[in-house]
Amino acid sequence: MRLCPPVSLCLAVAAVLLPAPVPALAHAEAGPSCAGPDAGDFPLTTRLRGGPDSYRAGGGFGTWYLDLTNTTRRTCDGVHPVVVLVDARRALKPSQPHLEFYADGRPHPVRFEATDDAELVGAFTDENADVQADEAAEADDFPGFTVGPGRTVTVKLRLALGSDAVRNTVTANAAVVQRHGDDGDWIGQSNDYRFTVESDANPDATPDPDPDLDPDPDGDAATAPTSTPTSAPDSSPRTPTPTTATPPTPHPSATDTGPFSLADQAEELARTGLASPTVLAAAAGACFLAAGAALLLARRLARRRR
């Protein structure tokens, strides 16, 4: 199968291919893979399209679409897209993007999880399963999309940003995984969808000082009343107290970007290839991050099936 940036692969697989409890596997047989053993490309051509160029924080939903085209002669079922959001400011919080995908004529909310690189990962599962489980004896998770041979399935998405989101530039990307019980295949990767966030919130703004904390709000020290000293001032010479200068704390270099982000690793991979020690180390770190995201999502699935 085609190679890819290590972070997107690890995060996508970890977000969807989660170990399912044994009772769930008893009635969920794994379907055949639509990825052939000698396939050089992904079996699903994946494309994001139609989204607005900008969103207003606290505004309404913007609609876009995810096209899943099966280029093989096999049926692809159990298809779970995973959306990854990477923002330029690294300020986007999991609670701020409100993303929904449509299946069976109704919307399903997507819950995002944050990685240590401040990237948000959201798998297409049934986030209403927790509520449904309280109202019915059985509530199955979203089984995934089914794409027939040579067919295209178009998934409607809509996104809104919370009012506390700051001005930003965000890149959305979708990885696609075919799930087989507690295993699966990575079968698609979309193009990038970039948009801006318009907001009145400014994380760099300095708040005005609180006038209640100003000991002299009038600022007129010359006319302030003074008290008469009750004793003569001490005329003995004072010995100056030695002081130790504290070196200034160095600011982080503008070139220090911290751990590789999703975009950074893709660029590094294209420049040096998979044999680069830098890329291999970054890939290993990404898989550890993916394990953390998988643990969070696995706990959610376990709660639904109790």
**pLDDT (tens digit per residue) in 15-28:** 444 544 433 433 34
Whole-number percent of the chain with pLDDT over 90: 42
pLDDT band at residue 32 using 50, 70 and 90 as cut-offs = confident
| Residue 264 Cα distances to 27, 50, 260, angstroms | 42, 26, 5
When pLDDT is averaged across residues 195-210 and rounded to a whole number, the result is 70
Instruction: Report the candidate in 253, 124, 255, 93 with the shortest Cα–Cα distance to residue 190.
Output: 124
In contact, 14 and 294? CB cutoff 8 Å: yes
Per-residue pLDDT tens over the stretch 86-140: 999 999 999 999 999 999 899 999 999 999 888 999 999 876 644 444 444 344 4
Residue 238 is predicted with a pLDDT of 53
Say which amino acid occupies 142: F
Point out which residues pair with 173 in neighbouring strands: 84
Residue 190 is predicted with a pLDDT of 98
Residue 147 is predicted with a pLDDT of 97
Residue 181 is predicted with a pLDDT of 75
CATH of 44-128+142-198, one of 2.60.40.3880, 3.40.50.2300, 2.130.10.10, 2.60.120.280: 2.60.40.3880
Instruction: Indicate whether 34 pLDDT > 50.
Output: yes
Per-residue pLDDT tens over the stretch 274-296: 333 443 444 444 444 444 444 44
Predicted TM-score (pTM) of the model is 0.62
When pLDDT is averaged across residues 246-269 and rounded to a whole number, the result is 45
Instruction: Indicate whether 5 pLDDT > 90.
Output: no
Domain ranges (residues) in the chain: 44-128+142-198
Residue 10 is predicted with a pLDDT of 56
